Amino acid sequence: MPRVTALYAAVLVALFLGLTVRVFAQRYRTRVVLGTGGDRLLERAVRVHANFAEFVPVFLAALLAAELCGAPRWALHAAGIAMLAGRAMHAAGMSREPDIQVLRSGGMVLTLAALLGAAGLALAGGAGLW
């Protein structure tokens, strides 16, 4: 049973839903139904949401592959925590005008580290190391 992946999938989906609600709320405030209408805060909300949607599915696929191959639970949790923290930091840093650069860039570093870690764990599993 891939319980570690299930845990991080559930928490990341909750964060994704929160970002979705923020886009809806900003659309309601600006009365923009399609696109961003030139509103900078709506554009930021849309990009934070889309950026999340671009990175998280690939991460979860790699994490699941690693877990199914028997990767150590501590390593799976390390990757999951890094992705969760990275996505939360990135969202917080990019949601303001101007950016909070330390949060935005730190969030991307953690996101990329999580992806690299999950990919490495999956590769090791595929090579029969677990």
Residue 37 contacts by C-beta under 8 Å, 6 or more apart in sequence?
30
pLDDT for position 36:
85
**pLDDT tens digit sequence for 65-104:** 999 999 999 999 999 999 999 999 999 999 888 999 999 9
Q: How many CB atoms lie within 10 A of CB 65?
A: 19
pLDDT for position 10:
98
**pLDDT tens digit sequence for 2-40:** 999 999 999 999 999 999 999 999 999 999 888 888 889
Residue found under tokens 């889309």: 50
Q: Which CATH number belongs to the domain containing residue 92 in this structure?
A: 1.20.120.550
What is the extent of the structural domain holding 63? 3-126
- Give the pLDDT band (50/70/90) at residue 123: very high
Contact call for residues 84 and 126 (beta carbons, < 8 A): no
- Give the pLDDT band (50/70/90) at residue 105: very high
Q: Provide the number of structural domains found in the chain.
A: 1
pLDDT for position 65:
98
pLDDT for position 96:
86
